[in-house]
Structure 1
C-alpha cells in the first residue's frame, strides 16, 4: 500500500510519487491512492468546468444542478453560479433546478436587442466612429451596435458614402446631408428592420468599399456567427467587397455559438469591443492576426491607431501584411 507523506492528502493529485517513501499510487501516475476520475473533477478550474457543462448539454437536452454538483464535487451554489454565468452569455437556457440547451437559431428581435448592453455598445460604436475618415466608403450591416456606430457617424462625420441593408442605419445617417446613403434592395424583414436575400447580395457585389462594418450574434475561435443565414450571407458579401473588415460587438457575444458561421477569424481585420476576450479566444484572435481594440468609458480608446489599422498603415498582430491590403474573393 502506498504511503501518504506529510502535507499530501490521500486522493490529491501529485507527480507520480507520494510522500517521502516514493511509493507509486495504485491509481497510476499523478493520482494518489483512492483517487479516481470523480476526485480529479474536483480540481477543475471554473472555465474547464463550464466547458464540460456545455459538453454535457450537447449530449443531453437538460441538466440538473444537483447532479452536476455531485459529479464535479462542488456545491450546488457553485454550479448555480456557473449556469447563471453561462446563461448571461447566452450559451444555455436556465430552467428551474437546472438548464437546457440553447436554440442556435433563435435571437430576440432587433427592437429587443436595442435594450441590452446599451452602454457597452454605445462605447464600441463611439470609438469605431472616431476612427473613420472623411471620403471613405463604408458597408454597414444590420445590428444594434452598428446603429450606435451610425448615430455617431451622423453626428460627427461628413463626406462619407455608406452602403447598407439596414433601415435603422439608413434612417440615422439621413439626418446628415453630407453622408450619401445607398440602400440595398431585397426582401424586407420586419424583425430586423432590414433587407436580405439574393437581390441584396447581388447589389452589394456591384460596389467596392474601404471598410465593411459588421456585427455578429456570437464570436468563437471559428469566427463570427449569426442566427440568421440571410444575415450571414450579407456579412460575407460586405467583407468580400471591402478592403478591411471591422467587427463590432460587446463582450456578451464572446464564445457564443449560433446557427451559421459567417467567415473564418482571419477574414476579420479588426475587432472593437468593450472588454478583452477570454484568454482562449484571445489567443485564437492573435493567431488569426486580428487586431483587438477596446472602447473605454465614453468611447475612449486609441482612435488614431484604430484609424491607421483600418487604412492598412499599422501591421496586425504577427501579420506579414497590414490590414486593408487583402481583397477577399
Structure 2
C-alpha cells in the first residue's frame, strides 16, 4: 500500500509540471520499493569487465579511510585496523595507495590528509564504492522511460547510471560528462547533447559559462545530479565550485530533480552549497539515511529510494 501511495504521488507531480519535448505523455515508473520509510536494495550489476569483489572491498575501505581523514585529518593505523577488522599491514597498504593517489601521506604510526587534495581525480572516484553506485544507478534507471529527455551531470555516480541505461531507447541525453557522452552516443538510437566548453581533466567534464549557456537551453523531464556531500542542516554540497553553480542553474529547468548519493556522503561537509532539500524531488541511495538527515528529507517532501 505504501508503495502504491508513492507511485500515485509521483504521477500527480508529473501531471502538475510539464515534461519536455515529446515526453508529454511520459510518466516515470517509480522503482520497486521506493518510499520515505524504506530503502530497497537493487541487485548487483554483474557485468563482464567490472572490478572483482575483493578489489571492490579494498577500494570501499580506502574510500572510507579517506572520508575519515576528511573529518579528523589524522588517523592511527591501530584505530583503522580495529575499525575495519583487518591487519595493520592491510591498512599500511591502503595508506600507500592513498599516498600514491595524492590524497594522504604517511606519518609515524598513522596517516594524515593531504590538504591540497580537495577531491580525488574523477577516475579514482568513479571506482570508489562502485558496488553502491551501481546499485543506485540500477534504481535510478527504472525512472527512465523510452523517448525521455534527461540530464545527467558529471558526478562519479553518473557514469554508472549511463551504464545502467542499457534497455531504454530513443533517449535525449544532455550532459557535460565526457564518459557519459561516450557511453550513450549511438546506443539504442539515443541522441546526446554535450555541453561543451573547456574540458577539466581532473573531473573529465566541461564547466564554465559556455557549458551553462548550452545546457540551460533544455528542459529535461528528469535531471540526475550526484553530489559530494549531504548535510542535514546545510543541504546538498559540492567540493567543486563550478559543479555546484551548474547544478543550481540547471535544477529549475527540469520537471523532476533526482539526486544520487551513496551512504559515504551522509553528514559530510562540502565547500559550497549546490541545492536545498526543497529543490529535490527524489533522493536515491544505497542504505537508509541517519535519523536527522531522514527527517530533513521528509520535511522537504523528498521521495527516498
Q: Which residue of 2 aligns with 1:287?
A: 299
Q: Which residue of 2 aligns with 1:188?
A: 199
Q: Which residue of 1 aligns with 2:223?
A: 212
Equivalent residue of 1:266, what SS? helix
Q: Which residue of 2 aligns with 1:266?
A: 278
Structure 2 residue 203 is matched with structure 1 residue 203:
no
Of residues 226, 251, 268, the one that matches 2:238 is 226
Q: Which residue of 2 aligns with 1:150?
A: 162
Q: Deviations over 1:200-238 (max 9, x none)?
A: 111122111111101011111222111110111121222
Of residues 178, 181, 193, the one that matches 1:170 is 181
Structure 2 residue 136 is matched with structure 1 residue 124:
yes
User: 2 CA distance for matches of 1:122 and 1:114?
Assistant: 10
Residue 81 of structure 1: CA displacement?
4.5
Q: Which aligned pairs between 1:1-329 and structure 2 lie closer than 5 A?
A: 81=83, 103=115, 106-153=118-165, 155-221=166-232, 222-293=234-305
Judging changes above 3 Å, is the alpha-carbon distance between structure 1 residues 255 and 64 closer, same or farther for their aligned structure 2 residues? closer
Question: TM-score under structure 2 normalisation?
Answer: 0.64
Residue 263 of structure 1: CA displacement?
1.4
Judging changes above 3 Å, is the alpha-carbon distance between structure 1 residues 95 and 128 closer, same or farther for their aligned structure 2 residues? farther
User: 2 CA distance for matches of 1:158 and 1:269?
Assistant: 24
Judging changes above 3 Å, is the alpha-carbon distance between structure 1 residues 117 and 64 closer, same or farther for their aligned structure 2 residues? closer
Judging changes above 3 Å, is the alpha-carbon distance between structure 1 residues 274 and 206 closer, same or farther for their aligned structure 2 residues? same
Instruction: Supply the RMSD in Å over aligned alpha carbons.
Output: 3.2
5+ residue gaps, structure 1 = 1-52, 66-75, 83-91, 294-329
User: 1 CA distance for matches of 2:107 and 2:265?
Assistant: 21
Bigger radius of gyration: 1
Maintained 8 Å contact 1:140/1:162: yes
Maintained 8 Å contact 1:135/1:160: yes
Judging changes above 3 Å, is the alpha-carbon distance between structure 1 residues 284 and 133 closer, same or farther for their aligned structure 2 residues? same
User: 2 CA distance for matches of 1:274 and 1:280?
Assistant: 17
User: 1 CA distance for matches of 2:108 and 2:175?
Assistant: 42
Residue 291 of structure 1: CA displacement?
1.1
Q: Deviations over 1:43-96 (max 9, x none)?
A: xxxxxxxxxx99x96xxxx6798xxxxxxxxxx969x749xxxxxxxxx97965
In the comparison of the two structures, how many residue pairs are matched?
221
Q: Deviations over 1:4-28 (max 9, x none)?
A: xxxxxxxxxxxxxxxxxxxxxxxxx
- Higher RCO, 1 vs 2 (CA within 8 Å, ≥6 residues apart): 2
Question: TM-score under structure 1 normalisation?
Answer: 0.59
Maintained 8 Å contact 1:105/1:227: no
Residue 99 of structure 1: CA displacement?
7.7
Maintained 8 Å contact 1:204/1:241: no
Equivalent residue of 1:209, what SS? coil
User: 2 CA distance for matches of 1:138 and 1:244?
Assistant: 10
Maintained 8 Å contact 2:168/2:188: no
User: 2 CA distance for matches of 1:157 and 1:176?
Assistant: 9
Maintained 8 Å contact 1:184/1:204: yes
Maintained 8 Å contact 1:246/1:271: yes
